[in-house]
């Protein structure tokens, strides 16, 4: 056990409103409840359980299309429930905002799926209704079917997707930060002035993809710009995260990989004009918790019984844009060129000695390389190693709902708190204030801050006709 004083670990629950999220096949476990994903009660009960445990956030993943073909088509995706069917997390989060009061609500929304004007209004509304607890997980969508569902003929090239994302975030920053100045809302019943026309502006965004006049129809929410997550792990993805994200999420196979990625992210932060640590680093990890090593082994064997390696392979293969269906698990992957999730493939290669993974290594990496099994003391010892490698938080992957989180809360959380690695109470304020202990809005060194006060020449007052003389 470490005796050194350490910063606490941020804790989020990695969720998706679907029967089969990361660890394929586990929905079949007798105690698993994720087959009830359509029932609001499942999510309300889980959110309250996690809030009582003082988790920082519920982190909802999402896709807006099918994973790529597996075994020549998409029938096996439907059969396995591989993130199809799935529901819109924004709608679910609206209900959870009303039934919780402190925990953050992190929502994935792709640049593919919604116009920046619409997305900015939705997130501002939810940030208002939740009291400033909303986070946006910015994704570019690696699934070709996602792009086809929104009018494209295929998957945009990797570099083009990040160019697209750069314009998208610029547009929503203008709406969130530049459209309404501080003090614009007056709500003065005596004078009848609800807002000051001199402090509400159109943004007149013109770019390669979007033309947005404005103004933003929502007044400034508690955070203005939601807390920002980004999960890109390719070099371009890391550069984007370093410039924009307040938290970045890694699928990390080991601590050596984390250390390498953390070093690269910190260097990229400096290059982007931000301070080291402005982007918190989360690792996606699952846990098998037992009071004895014998109990740990029994639980691990039980989970393995329900794990479906072919679902894991279909998931990863779809993400990198390669049909791996029908291949023997010992088939070498070879040199894969893909426009899909390049960082995922890099992580798998890094997890295999010699860097020559097989198809089976894909499944083992997702199921085991990111799994910590042990007693609470052993798990927290291991988490300290991951913290030393550079992580600031853990995005906890579940085998079963709600049992995986119940095991963590009852087993691991007391040991984390005993070592000062988990909070016992929430700090006051918005999600950003709770995480960073500073202002509710973005820091001045964030790119979004450049749009504050940038559009005053386009204010409503500038269009006002002078009153006629005489």
Which of 109, 63, 111 lies closest to 87 in space, CA to CA? 63
The answer to whether 234 is a known ligand-binding residue is yes
The answer to whether 211 is a known ligand-binding residue is no
CB 392 within 8 A of CB 398: no
The answer to whether 233 is a known ligand-binding residue is yes
The answer to whether 108 is a known ligand-binding residue is yes
Tokens (6 digits) for 407: 């095991």
**Who contacts 222 (Cβ-Cβ below 8 Å, separation ≥6)?**
127, 128, 131, 132, 430, 440
Cα dihedral sign for 255, 400, 137, 221? negative
For 180, 222, 349, the CA distances from 227, given in Å and listed in that order, are 18, 11, 31
Nearest 5°: the CA angle 132, 134, 137 is: 150
Beta strand residue intervals within 154-244, DSSP E:
185-188, 193-195, 205-206, 211-212, 227-230
Question: How far apart are alpha carbons 330 and 361 in whole angstroms?
Answer: 8
DSSP secondary structure string for all residues of 248-269 = EEE--SSHHHHHHHHHHHHHHH
Tokens (6 digits) for 456: 């005053």
- Cβ atoms within 10 Å of 76's Cβ, excluding its own: 17
Tokens (6 digits) for 396: 């906890």
**Who contacts 57 (Cβ-Cβ below 8 Å, separation ≥6)?**
10, 12, 13, 103, 104, 105, 106, 135, 431
Q: What SS3 class is residue 275?
A: coil
* Residue indicated by tokens 């779809």: 318
CB 341 within 8 A of CB 320: yes
For 49, 58, 408, 418, the CA distances from 53, given in Å and listed in that order, are 6, 12, 10, 14
Q: What SS3 class is residue 131?
A: coil
CB 158 within 8 A of CB 234: yes
Q: State phi, psi for 393 to the nearest 5 degrees.
A: -160, 170
Tokens (6 digits) for 288: 């098998």
The answer to whether 158 is a known ligand-binding residue is yes
Q: Residues marked as binding for FMN?
A: 62, 108, 158, 162, 233-234
**Residue ranges at the known binding site:** 62, 108, 158, 162, 233-234
């Amino acid at each position: 056990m470490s005796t050194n004083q350490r910063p606490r670990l941020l804790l989020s629950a990695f969720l998706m409103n679907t029967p089969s999220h990361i660890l394929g096949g586990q929905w079949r476990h007798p105690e698993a409840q994720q087959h009830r994903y359509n029932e609001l009660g499942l999510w309300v009960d889980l959110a309250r359980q996690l809030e009582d445990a003082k988790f920082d956030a519920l982190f909802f993943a999402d896709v807006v299309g099918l994973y790529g073909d597996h075994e020549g088509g998409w029938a096996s995706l439907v059969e396995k429930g591989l993130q199809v069917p799935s529901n819109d997390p924004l709608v679910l989060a609206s209900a959870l905002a009303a039934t919780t009061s402190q925990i953050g609500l992190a929502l994935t929304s792709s640049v593919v799926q919604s116009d920046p004007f619409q997305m900015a209004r939705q997130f501002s509304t939810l940030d208002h209704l939740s009291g400033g607890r909303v986070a946006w997980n910015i994704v570019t969508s690696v699934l070709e079917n996602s792009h086809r569902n929104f009018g494209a003929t295929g998957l945009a090239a990797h570099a083009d997707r990040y160019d697209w994302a750069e314009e998208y975030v610029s547009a929503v920053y203008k709406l969130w930060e530049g459209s309404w100045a501080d003090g614009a809302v007056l709500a003065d019943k005596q004078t009848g002035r609800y807002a000051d026309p001199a402090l509400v502006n159109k943004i007149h965004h013109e770019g390669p993809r979007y033309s947005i006049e404005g103004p933003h129809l929502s007044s400034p929410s508690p955070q203005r710009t939601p807390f920002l997550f980004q999960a890109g792990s390719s070099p371009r993805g890391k550069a984007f995260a370093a410039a924009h994200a307040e938290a970045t999420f890694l699928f990390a196979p080991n601590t050596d990989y984390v250390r390498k990625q953390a070093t690269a992210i910190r260097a990229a932060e400096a290059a982007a004009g931000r301070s080291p640590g402005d982007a918190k680093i989360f690792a996606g990890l699952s846990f098998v918790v037992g009071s004895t090593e014998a109990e740990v082994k029994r639980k691990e064997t039980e989970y393995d019984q329900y794990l479906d390696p072919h679902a894991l392979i279909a998931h990863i293969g779809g993400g990198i844009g390669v049909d791996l269906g029908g291949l023997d698990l010992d088939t070498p992957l070879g040199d894969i060129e893909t426009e899909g999730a390049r960082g995922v493939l890099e992580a798998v290669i890094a997890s295999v000695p010699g860097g020559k993974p097989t198809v089976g290594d894909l499944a083992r990496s997702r199921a085991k390389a990111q799994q910590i099994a042990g007693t609470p003391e052993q798990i927290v010892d291991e988490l300290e190693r991951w913290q030393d490698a550079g992580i600031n938080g853990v995005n906890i992957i579940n085998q079963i709902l709600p049992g995986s989180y119940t095991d963590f809360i009852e087993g691991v959380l007391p040991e984390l708190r005993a070592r000062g690695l988990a909070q016992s109470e929430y700090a006051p304020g918005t999600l950003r204030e709770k995480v960073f202990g500073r202002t509710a809005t973005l820091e001045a060194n964030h790119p979004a801050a450049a749009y504050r006060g940038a559009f005053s020449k386009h204010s409503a007052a500038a269009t006002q006709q002078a009153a006629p003389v005489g």
